[in-house]
Chains A and B, each alone.
Chain A
Amino acid sequence: MKIAVCIKQVPTREWQPRLNDTKTWIRDQDASYEMNEPDAYALEEGLRLKEKHGGEVVVCSAGPARAAQVLREALARGADRAIHVEDEQIGAADAFVVTEALAAAMREEQFDLVLTGLQSDDQGFAQTGVILAERLGMPHATIIMEVQAADGRLRVKRELEGGWFQWIAMSLPAVLTIQSGINQLRYATLKGIMAAKKKEIRKVAAPAGLSARQRILKLDFPEKGKKTQMIAGGPEEAARELVRRLREEARAL
């Protein structure tokens, strides 16, 4: 099975956001970066499928030069080769642009299966996998908790709300977005890291003239310092007043 896994480089989860002067994006140079965690689960699932069914795993990422870091990490964990759609602006682009660029680079590869994480830790569109399926002309399923593959067909377990699940069958080729926690991530090994150096990272330019479908007007920190209503009085009185306000004002009960 020829498997593609799309991964994104995002700021680390510990990073404290800083904004650029126009407040339209973060100060990229201040952040440290890592592989988007949901994508790491997609990669792990791809590697496990390859171990079971044979074939190859190709990691694909659209991002600036520094995104090569996560591709190398994926190669160290066991991916066979990488495609890097390198563009200095594309890290901040919307899902329309990113999928257009990825699809252009991936189409000729004729993948059997394309995996992505559920969504990214940065912009969090939760669109990339699904739009990619549309652009590649493949069927898709999202929020997948288990993947079974046999005879050119897939049977996948999709998570629904509230503890419900559903099995979905479809033919390959297909696109799946993988739910975090579907598997346990492996560690990169020393041998893997050394082997990764010899693996190919194919650099591709993003197609010219891609136009975004959304624009960030402004970024802000979430409002903090809610107006806290302090409730005074003895225990019974305070309890009564709290329950009243939760029922009538907040409608939380």
Chain B
Amino acid sequence: MTSTVERETLDVDVLIVGGGPAGLSAALKLSQLQKRTGGEPLSIAVLEKARETGAHMMSGAVLDVSALKELVPDFLDRQAPLASEVHEDHIYFLTPGGKLRFPITPAPFRNHGNYIISLNRFVKWLSEQVEAEGIDIFSGFAGREVLYDGDRVIGVRTGDRGIDKHGQPRDNFEPGVDIHAKVTIFADGVRGNLTKELQRRFQLGAGREPQSFAIGIKELWEVPAGRIRPGTVIHTMGYPLNTEEFGGGFVYAMPDNRVFVGFVSGLDYVDPMFDPHVAFQRFKLHPLVRGIIEGGQMIRYGAKALPEGGWNTIPRPYLDGALIVGDAAGFMNSMRLKGIHLAMRSGMLAADAAFEAVNAGDASAARLKRYETLINASPIRKELYPVRNVHQAFGHGFVAGFLYAGIAMVTNGWWFDRMTGHAGQDRIQTIARYYTRRGRQVPEGATQAVKPDRQVTFDKLTNVHYSGTRHDEDQPVHLLVHTEVCESICGPEYNYPCQRFCPANVYEIVTEAVGNRLQINASNCVHCKTCDIMDPYQVITWVPPEGGGGPQYDGM
């Protein structure tokens, strides 16, 4: 049906798919380059799937302002929403009831000169800077498929809107638009649906390590006065994870008694009954965190995957007609738990390369390779290369990882050139292997499950409510699942792990007389992408729902 409809087309010089820090930095940089050189203004369009820019943005977040300083030197005068300058850094190793404080804060964790921000607010602000330059930001439009001319990327088709849940057009059906561009910059975020397609089609990951991911789950709290000084940054390791699991918690304190509490779990866990949401609840129940948030109020909830693999996992970020930036390419420093500044910088460098290519009338891969050259000469490589193996080292166990991280810091990365890692979902073990054969008892629910007290801990469904997530109910399910695998293979082998790795209660196994049935509560989806990454048989494909749907991460 969709192939026969008449579509609008739009031609631009540069199309940016994704209105996050990387995409918006690229847009802003493009307009700056344009101003500097004069001449015909470039036509630039930014697509963003959220109803408004920033709505799907969620991160820790502590911002390293290095890239921002270059992009918007007067960011303070322009009132960039930086919630608080970091005043205190603490790192703890948590035990079930206690904590060990690291006597010194290792350099990567030092945050002097950095700011605690709400990425949601920051991106909203950044988008205002972009719009002020006269650039079109089309929010509420998701990139649904890549358009090619042979093997050259020529743009993106946006998703159709107004299709009912049976796939039939409604009265207000609005077909997607074909946007043609000389250069398309893919900034579709972690596990971006279009970048994923490009990676597969063009083997962009060839010769690189497979990407590994983590999932971050976070809540915004308003806590009783006096609990924690604004500007305090706390990172933790250890409990509730065991030594075979990678991850850690954070608490960032802002003015007005607002606190971010979050937990990052590597999606390379082995226990099939592990549930990242449970780990987060356990973290909140630890005396260190509970003492801060108890008696307060949870205001927002969110979850998002993050690319943790680092330098060696970044795919070839250029191809004929296209560039890949930000989380989509994996520009993230898992040692420092920071990626926003790298995303911004990659966007800025992509803008440089795209600008030159458009002006030269040549957007071939050969010319766009300049983007990679720029990255290699930039602070991105300087920052990521020395710690390129840290995440992989943690794959060899917590102790090895921690030792390696220490050595990497001291020796500035002198070590093997490359340590081999695994894609996250490869490590999850079957119930038989992890439990039965080792004589372990399979837990009733998730490992270490917590009964929510609805004060400090919550169930996933309640949390989803606080993510502000909304989708038009009358649309096709946007999670494409080969459900025949669930009952026949994945259920018996892994005990339906989708129920646990999804932080938003999208996947539910309903037991009926005829057997188990997978129910997909697609409208709960917070667009974190974890299912697309984590399911052991890779039978879940996340595609964008109708534009405008998704979470509403105010203040996150």
Q: Does A186 contact B (CB under 8 A)?
A: yes
Whether a CB of chain B sits under 8 angstroms from the CB of A164 is no
Bound CA–CA A193/B300 (angstroms): 30
Would you call A157 an interface residue if the criterion is a C-beta within 8 Å of the partner chain's C-beta atoms? no
A13 touches which of B162, B470, B555 (Cβ 8 Å): B470
Determine whether the beta carbon of A32 is less than 8 Å from that of B554: yes
Choose the segment among B109-117, B171-179, B226-234, B498-506 that binds chain A (4+ C-beta atoms closer than 8 Å). Answer: B171-179
B147 to chain A, nearest CB (A): 15
B52 touches A189 (CB 8 A): no
- A14 touches which one: B138, B140, B174, B470 (CB < 8 A)? B470
Contact call B299/A187, Cβ cutoff below 8 A: no
The interface on chain B, measured as residues whose beta carbon lies within 8 A of the other chain's beta carbons, has a size of 29
Q: Which residues of A contact B179 (CB under 8 A)?
A: 190
User: Which chain B residues numbered 28 to 86 have a C-beta less than 8 Å away from chain A?
Assistant: 45, 51-52, 55
Q: Does B10 contact A (CB under 8 A)?
A: yes
A5 CB to nearest B CB, Å? 18
A10 CB to nearest B CB, Å: 14
Assess whether B141 is in contact with A190, with CB atoms less than 8 Å apart. Answer: yes
Question: Which secondary structure dominates where chain B touches chain A?
Answer: strand
Cβ distance B555 to chain A, nearest Cβ, rounded Å? 6
Closest A residue by C-beta to B45: A190
Chain A residues with CB under 8 A of B138: 190, 193
Identify which of residues 13-44 in chain A touch chain B, using a CB-to-CB cut-off of 8 Å.
Answer: 13-16, 18, 30-32, 34
Structural contact, A16 and B299, CB atoms closer than 8 A: yes
Q: Are B554 and A30 in contact (CB under 8 A)?
A: yes
Which listed residue (A12, A18, A185) contacts B552, Cβ 8 A?
A12
- Specify the main secondary structure of chain A where it touches its partner: loop
Query: Are A30 and B172 neighbours in the complex by a CB distance under 8 Å?
Result: no
Q: Which B residues touch A14, using CB under 8 A? A: 468-470, 552
| Contacting residues, chain B, for A31 (C-beta < 8 A) | 554
Taken together as a complex, chains A and B put the C-alpha atoms of A189 and B176 apart, in Å, by 9
A229 within 8 A of B: no
* Complex Cα gap A143–B427 (Å): 60
A184 within 8 A of B: yes
Query: Smallest CB-CB separation from B162: which chain A residue?
Result: A187
Q: Which of A34, A193, A194 is the most central at the interface, judged by chain B CB atoms within 10 Å of its CB?
A: A193
Instruction: Find chain A residues with CB under 8 A from B177 CB.
Output: 189-190
A32 touches B55 (CB 8 A): yes
Q: Is B552 within 8 A of A32, CB to CB?
A: yes
Shortest beta-carbon distance, B318 to chain A, in Å?
26
Partner of B51, one of A15, A30, A34, A194: A34
Q: In whole angstroms, what is the CA distance A32 to B171 when docked?
A: 29
Q: B residues within 8 A CB of A212?
A: none
| In the bound complex, CA of A35 to CA of B55 (Å) | 16
Q: Are A187 and B174 in contact (CB under 8 A)?
A: yes
Tell yes or no: A191 within 8 A of B by CB: yes
B161 on the A face (CB < 8 A): yes
- Residue B170 lies at the interface, judged by CB distance under 8 Å to chain A: yes
A187 touching B161, Cβ below 8 Å: yes
Is the CB of A188 closer than 8 A to any CB of chain B?
yes
A193 smallest CB distance to B (angstroms): 6
Chain B residues with CB under 8 A of A193: 136, 138
B52 to chain A: which residues have CB within 8 Å?
Answer: 32
Knowing that A12-B468, A32-B52, A190-B138 touch, tell me 19 more A-B residue pairs with CB under 8 angstroms. A14-B470, A14-B552, A15-B468, A16-B299, A16-B300, A16-B466, A31-B554, A184-B172, A185-B172, A186-B174, A187-B140, A187-B161, A187-B162, A187-B172, A189-B174, A190-B10, A190-B45, A190-B141, A190-B158
Q: Which residues of chain B have a CB within 8 Å of any CB of chain A? A: 8, 10, 45, 51-52, 55, 136, 138, 140-141, 158, 161-162, 170-172, 174, 177, 179, 222, 299-300, 466, 468-470, 552, 554-555
Binding site for B on A (CB under 8 A): 12-16, 18, 30-32, 34, 184-191, 193-194, 197
List 6 A-B pairs, minimum CB-CB distance, nearest first: A14-B468, A187-B174, A14-B552, A184-B172, A187-B161, A184-B171
14 A-B contact pairs sorted by A residue (CB < 8 Å): A12-B468, A13-B470, A16-B466, A32-B55, A34-B51, A184-B172, A186-B172, A187-B140, A188-B140, A189-B174, A190-B179, A191-B8, A191-B10, A197-B136
